[in-house]
Amino acid sequence: MPENNLFQFAQVIAELPMQNTNYNSRYLHIRKLTNACVVCSICFTCSKYYGVDCACQEVQPRRGKNLPPGGLDSRAKKLHREDVDDFEFSIKWINENAHNMYKDDHNTVIGLRELVEVSLCKAHSSTLYRAKKRHERLNSESMCQSVLVSGGLAARVRDMSFNQPQVPDFTQITHSTSSKRKRVIKSPKIEARPSVSTPLYGSRNNQFMQQIQQQITDNFPSQLPPLQEHTSRKLIPHIPMVIETVSLKSTSSIYYFRNLAITDLFTFRDLLAEIDMTGSPPQGKRIVISDQEKFYPLDQPIRSVIKRPNSTHLELCLGLTDKPSINWDTY
């Protein structure tokens, strides 16, 4: 039975009117009800209403793959007293949602706090789990809000209200009577002289000094570009170019393959493995790979031989050349 249908079935059964309100005493204490849901009172063995039409013995229920035919899957909710928040929330939730047949006159489940676990059907176990998660999420949100209000924003408001800067009263300022200030006033005035670097615009030589500065600027122009060009210029790291792909063709420009991707250890001889060659070169000839200008060593990696290529793609030619012969008898 799917979980959604099972949950609806449990709700419908829980809302059915009780056929017999005079329960036997063994149905009232939750400690004995290990094989029935504490919320909907459905028996896990026969899926019937516990205490009404169920005659099963009180046994430890089988769950999951061990579920008997026609049985109801269940879960055991552990009640850990060490986890105070989980324990109190679970006790509260069970007292609010448990079936009336397990409750006393004070609407409290009998013997609930003395148990180490309670039995729930799979549907109501999922309901309790979602309620617990929702409770934790609301607690965390309220805690964050209280920290912001009490710790951060409120503290700043208090600091701003109590630490306002005091504006000085300028009406109480009087003239200074310091003798040191009087000595400075009576000291002889030193005549300021104009210079080329710091002209005095209020002096008689202002126009003359400006002409000298203009001549210096015209004769010795600045060798540096404007500051704006220095700041706007971005440093681009130099990344060396490497060969990424290789094409091999014959001397008559017939391609054997195109755009073959290579690695750092890919040699020129590895190019020959891409071709199905039959036979061997004629007597006195050898296989060579070239770029129409130079021959390349077959057993060396391509990237180690061509370290500074002009392009990431390399065109090579496959051909034959005369093999040098030496007669050591006549050497």
Q: Tens digit of pLDDT for each residue in 47-98?
A: 888 777 887 877 777 777 777 787 888 888 888 888 888 999 998 998 888 8
pLDDT at 23: 45
Rounded to an integer, what distance in angstroms lies between the CA atom of residue 286 and that of residue 278?
A: 14
Architecture of domain 245-322: Roll (3.10)
Amino acid letter, 267: T
Query: In the chain, where does the domain assigned CATH 3.10.20.90 lie?
Result: 245-322
Instruction: Write the CB contacts of 103 (distance below 8 Å, at least 6 apart in sequence).
Output: 95, 109, 110
Per-residue confidence band for 277, with pLDDT thresholds at 50, 70 and 90: confident
Q: Give me the pLDDT at residue 312, please.
A: 93
pLDDT of 142 reads: 80
Distance CA(187)–CA(189), nearest Å, equals 6
Identify the top-confidence range among 37-41, 199-203, 238-242, 272-276. 272-276
Whole-angstrom distance, CA of residue 126 vs CA of residue 74? 10
What is the per-residue pLDDT across 103-155, written as a single tens digit (0 to 9) for each?
888 888 888 888 888 888 888 989 999 998 998 888 888 877 766 665 556 56
Instruction: Please check the confidence at residue 42 and state whether its pLDDT lies above 50.
Output: yes
pLDDT at 247 over 90: yes
Query: Between the ranges 1-5, 218-222, 251-255, where is the mean pLDDT highest?
Result: 251-255
Asked if residue 21 has pLDDT above 50, the reply is no
Q: Give the residue among 58, 72, 107, 115 at the shortest CA–CA distance from 90.
A: 115
Residue 291 has pLDDT above 90, yes or no: no
What is the pLDDT, as a whole number, of residue 67?
Answer: 78
Report the pLDDT value the prediction gives residue 59, as an integer from 0 to 100. 76
Q: What is the pLDDT of residues 151-201, one digit of tens each?
A: 556 566 666 666 655 656 666 666 666 555 555 555 555 555 555 455 555
Is the Cβ–Cβ distance between 296 and 305 less than 8 Å?
yes
Q: Helix H segments across the chain?
A: 3-14, 84-97, 122-147, 154-162, 179-186, 206-219, 227-232, 269-272, 302-305
Average of per-residue pLDDT values in the chain: 75
Confidence of residue 31 (pLDDT cuts 50, 70, 90): very low
